[in-house]
Structure 1
Amino acid sequence: MLQLSGISKNYGTRQVLNDVSFTVANNRLTGFVGGNGAGKTTTMRIILGVLTADGGSVTIDGEPVQTTQRRRFGYMPEERGLYPKMGVLDQVAYFARLHGYTKRDAVQKATALLEELSLGERLTDKIESLSLGNQQRVQIAASLVHDPEVLILDEPFSGLDPIAVDTVAQVLQSRAAQGVSVLFSSHQLDVVERLCDDLVIIAGGHIRAAGSRDALREQYASNQYELVSTADTGWLRTQPGIQVTAFDGGNAQFIADQPAAAHAALRTALTHGEVTSFSPLRPTLAQIFKEVIQ
């Protein structure tokens, strides 16, 4: 388990990180989201030792992260870090060699990984001949080729089409299932919400929210409900303490000024007809994000 505690970072008089604390657990995908300049990349670079924090600590399994531990990390920067004239397989195998693999093992490992990322037909192509999306997948392969225990990815889904997003998502999910701690940043909130077990939201160098996806949706849920009935639900518009936000015959969404008003609406609905569904509405990640960064 990777843990950040009280991380701070200043550039001169400008503080870019302030008391940044969160956990990246084993076997879980953690999404790291925030606007441009929020502090995501700086945080990742501190985890990797590229930058030095002015305060706080980064530990793995309770021990301070040192060079030895960082050899077990995989990292994909947002910027391209590939050699454009090299072939795809040669490129990824080269990174495996840097981690101590023999030439034979490096080629085998790189080939299997590129095939898993649906690049098996592009092994001999030069990097510069690939689309940006395929270059992104090669870069992901380079971060994975040494079987890291911690995986840090900065915008891994940038430039990928929906099919490629699914391919990369399956690869990341399989690594998390094998025990890898995965932290990735992304501006694609729908992808983060779909994939992640845990979420960290940062704005202005401060962590604004952190926790499991389901816990955060529960925490930031408003008193909004959905009612589905066999009868028309137009009567909700005159129900005390109820504000209807969406209506379509027997299907209505509404905000209750307090839980008692919602329960009263349910009791009234049962007198009008059969209620097939009644449940609170949970906010999306995009809605939570907008709320916490205000």
Structure 2
Amino acid sequence: MPQSPSADLSVAGLTKSFGSLQALDDVTFEVGAGEIFGFVGSNGAGKSTTMRIILGVLAADAGTVTFGDRPIDADVRRRIGYMPEERGLYPKMKVGDQLVYLARLHGLSASDAAERTRYWTRRLGVDGRVGDNVADLSLGNQQRVQLAAALVFDPDVLVLDEPFSGLDPVAVDVMSEVLTEKAGDGVPVIFSSHQLDLVQRLCDRVGIIGQGRMQALGTVDELRSRGGVRLRVDAPAAPHGWADGLRGVVRADYDSSTTIYLDGTHDDQQILAAALATGPVHTFASATPDLTEMFREVVTAE
């Protein structure tokens, strides 16, 4: 394919309906060359539909998908490594034979296909199972083989739907390393996941989709900062509601410690004085919401 692998994957204005259900509504985002993009949302939000349109499995009602300056045609599609959420391997076919077969379908010679199969099964820790049928593997090992199938032909783009599902911590670490390395080679990587701690740790940028629309888009830091200014105060003797009514306080959550949501007009010293008036203060610090909190707020706002 004449396209350089160091190119951007662009999704612009995707719209898709299934009868009366509008699955996607003007979905737009870009995954840069060498960027890891986390695509998150609730079940049914539109993640898998978007990925299937990128792959050409579904046709959009409107909108475009391009890689570099090219539309996603058959030649480009052949260079995309795809990992579906539902495992798409042949259950009664041996692991090694299957990976070689898939690599050959993507244009590799028999010797190159065999070499890449050896490399990726060893790298992903399933080299001892190449003679087994996929159906005889554990779910975690099936997931590793599914990733090997997406990588065995050295794709120019990676599109992975829930790649960390069912993996043990060691396998999660291996997969994280692989995705980081592929991005380091200039490959655009997009993956969906409900494991937001992994998304926060791995991704350069994140898109949150809900009800078929992009609800939030940006770097992890940008999304986390959308939560506004917060203070975390550990004042064990403070009664419930002690921070209510203070200047700049939007609301406060009173649990084992108090999380105070602020609008920027607050006075730290006034809040600290109010906390100290209730007794000892063990912690008084600004707090940035993590991606899980941000996601929860976006979904709640939907």
Superposition RMSD in Å? 2.8
Measured in 1, the distance between the counterparts of 2:13 and 2:190 equals 18
Q: Which amino acid aligns with 1:261?
A: H
State the Cα distance separating 1:83 from its structure 2 match: 1.8
Sort the Cα spacing of 1:214 and 1:85 in 2 relative to 1 into closer, same or farther, 3 A.
same
Q: Tell me the equivalent position of 1:206.
A: 213
Measured in 2, the distance between the counterparts of 1:139 and 1:48 equals 16
- Is the 1:30–1:199 contact (alpha carbons within 8 Å) kept by the matching residues of 2? yes
Q: Tell me the equivalent position of 2:154.
A: 147
Question: Which residues of 2 match residues 210-225 of structure 1 at below 5 A?
Answer: 210-219=217-226, 221-225=227-231
Q: 1:98 aligns with which of 102, 105, 108?
A: 105
Sort the Cα spacing of 1:120 and 1:227 in 2 relative to 1 into closer, same or farther, 3 A.
same
Q: 1:196 aligns with which of 193, 203, 215?
A: 203
Q: Tell me the equivalent position of 2:175.
A: 168
- Is the 2:158–2:189 contact (alpha carbons within 8 Å) kept by the matching residues of 1? yes
State the Cα distance separating 1:16 from its structure 2 match: 1.1
Q: Tell me the equivalent position of 2:163.
A: 156
Sort the Cα spacing of 1:247 and 1:16 in 2 relative to 1 into closer, same or farther, 3 A.
closer
Sort the Cα spacing of 1:256 and 1:100 in 2 relative to 1 into closer, same or farther, 3 A.
closer
Measured in 1, the distance between the counterparts of 2:28 and 2:164 equals 25
Sort the Cα spacing of 1:283 and 1:88 in 2 relative to 1 into closer, same or farther, 3 A.
same
- Is the 1:224–1:253 contact (alpha carbons within 8 Å) kept by the matching residues of 2? no
State the Cα distance separating 1:207 from its structure 2 match: 0.9
- Is the 2:143–2:166 contact (alpha carbons within 8 Å) kept by the matching residues of 1? yes
State the Cα distance separating 1:179 from its structure 2 match: 0.9
Measured in 2, the distance between the counterparts of 1:176 and 1:123 equals 27
State the Cα distance separating 1:104 from its structure 2 match: 1.4
**If the length of structure 2 is used for normalisation, what is the TM-score?**
0.84
State the Cα distance separating 1:13 from its structure 2 match: 2.7
Measured in 1, the distance between the counterparts of 2:261 and 2:199 equals 29
Measured in 1, the distance between the counterparts of 2:17 and 2:254 equals 47
Q: Which amino acid aligns with 2:206?
A: L
Q: 1:75 aligns with which of 79, 82, 94?
A: 82
Q: Tell me the equivalent position of 1:132.
A: 139
Q: Tell me the equivalent position of 2:18.
A: 11
Measured in 2, the distance between the counterparts of 1:149 and 1:117 equals 19
Measured in 2, the distance between the counterparts of 1:276 and 1:48 equals 53
Deviations 1:27-50 (A, max 9, x none): 111111111211111111111111
Q: Which runs of 5+ in 2 are unaligned?
A: 1-7
State the Cα distance separating 1:256 from its structure 2 match: 5.6
**If the length of structure 1 is used for normalisation, what is the TM-score?**
0.86
Measured in 1, the distance between the counterparts of 2:219 and 2:199 equals 12
Measured in 2, the distance between the counterparts of 1:121 and 1:265 equals 64
Q: Tell me the equivalent position of 2:266.
A: 261
Q: Tell whether 2:290 aligns with 1:284.
A: yes
The count of corresponding residues between Structure 1 and Structure 2 is 285
Measured in 2, the distance between the counterparts of 1:45 and 1:244 equals 42
Deviations 1:211-264 (A, max 9, x none): 111111112x23212469xx9997xx579436775798xxx7542644343443
- Is the 2:9–2:188 contact (alpha carbons within 8 Å) kept by the matching residues of 1? yes
Measured in 2, the distance between the counterparts of 1:39 and 1:267 equals 44
- Is the 1:256–1:262 contact (alpha carbons within 8 Å) kept by the matching residues of 2? no
State the Cα distance separating 1:185 from its structure 2 match: 1.1
Q: Which amino acid aligns with 1:288?
A: M
Q: Which runs of 5+ in 1 are unaligned?
A: none
State the Cα distance separating 1:135 from its structure 2 match: 0.5
Measured in 2, the distance between the counterparts of 1:146 and 1:200 equals 28
SS of alignment partner, residue 131 of structure 2 = coil
Sort the Cα spacing of 1:185 and 1:261 in 2 relative to 1 into closer, same or farther, 3 A.
same
- Is the 2:38–2:205 contact (alpha carbons within 8 Å) kept by the matching residues of 1? yes
